[in-house]
Amino acid sequence: MSATTKTPTVPEGRTASQASPVARLLGDRRLPVLVTAALFLAMYITGLGRYQNYGFTEPQVFLNLFIDNGYLLVAAVGATFVIMSGGIDLSVGSVIGFTTMFTAWMVERQGLPLLLVVPLALGVGAFGGFLMGYVIHNFEIQPFIVTLAGLFLFRGLCLVISKESISISDSSVSSLAQAQAQLGIGFLSIGAIVALVVLAVAFYVLHYTRFGRRVYAIGGNEQSALLMGLPMGGTKIAVYTVSGFCSALAGLLFMLYIQSGDPLHAVGMELDAIAAVVIGGTLLTGGSGYVLGTLFGVLVLGLIKSLIQFEGTLSSWWTKIATGVLLCAFILIQRAMTARKQT
């Protein structure tokens, strides 16, 4: 009996405390976000040193990252909600493309005012996300299959509207596209401002509301969330509705950026959005991540494009190669973190 009482937990405590800084670092949920932020900073500093004589040091170059990638940021924010809950949404790019076609067709061919078309487009996107979430929950079908069907559906609807590109010459669209918010060091477009507002709202919802806590709980352990009495169905459907709404809003911002609708717009953009979310540190298995990490993921992808443009000798395909390398690296980090938690 005395032998059993003499084996305290002190040695175990010592080994846990001495479990090395690496083990404690891998157990920190903020690690992927910090890595992404450090990567962005290192890339930006590299650009400052390498292209300082080509205008890279201008503050507007940094602001252009938000202007050129505002629509991707909005789409990635919506995808963050879905991935955080343990799901996936492959319909993002098709919804964006459909929104550009729908808006261009309604404004140019039907003569409807933009103020009327915008809520219609957002409503269609949100309703599409609602339907996919409803099917996923009530029929217990894998999100991959349901959202893949949504991808084909919305891309097909683009071709139903028109097989050719529709240019938008409406004055309200042109004025919004050219509108700028002047800052002390440069300017931001309307699309960039909307993207930052969406990011702020998403940050508040995920971290300071009951709905956000439900999303984390369901993504972390669905069975535990069910035993806790959380509304699984409502939360899942709401998550895909948010993604559909954000995809439609991203389509409107992309329409302002391009000022046209085309059935081939945003092909593969769902992969860019998912890549930004994963590079930003959100676990593909759900339950862990930060929407600010998604921002850094989008900025990293945008900065890769900018560095390639400033280099001038590299093909744009290097963007895909760099994205693939980063995805592999961050998936390995995620794997190391999940393996550490399981042990």
Over residues 147-176, the pLDDT tens digits come to 999 999 999 999 999 999 999 999 999 999
Q: What is the pLDDT of residue 131?
A: 98
Chain mean pLDDT for the chain: 90
Query: What are the E-state strand segments in 244-332?
Result: 260-261
- C-alpha distances in angstroms, 10 versus 13, 17, 186? 5, 10, 58
Note the pLDDT tens digit of each residue in 255-295: 999 999 999 999 999 999 999 999 999 988 888 899 999 99
Query: Rounded to two decimals, what is the model's pTM?
Result: 0.91
Block residue for tokens 């083990």? 23
Q: Considering the chain, what percentage of its residues have pLDDT values greater than 90?
A: 73
CA distance 24 to 125: 42
Give the Cα-Cα-Cα angle 48, 35, 72 (nearest 5 degrees): 75
| Pairing of the two strands 180-182 and 260-261 | unpaired
- 209-265: pLDDT as tens digits: 999 999 999 998 888 888 888 899 999 999 999 999 999 999 999 999 999 999 999
- CATH ID of 29-336, from 1.10.10, 1.10.3470, 3.40.50, 3.30.1370: 1.10.3470
Is the dihedral angle over the CA atoms 4, 5, 10, 13 positive or is it negative? positive
Position 39 scores a pLDDT of 94
Sorted by sequence, the CB contacts under 8 Å of residue 72 that are 6+ apart come out as 250, 269, 272, 273, 276, 298, 301, 302
Tell me what pLDDT residue 141 has: 95
> Is pLDDT at 101 greater than 60 in this prediction?
yes
Note the pLDDT tens digit of each residue in 304-333: 999 999 988 878 788 889 899 999 988 888
Contact 202, 77 (CB under 8 A): yes
CA distance 136 to 232: 11
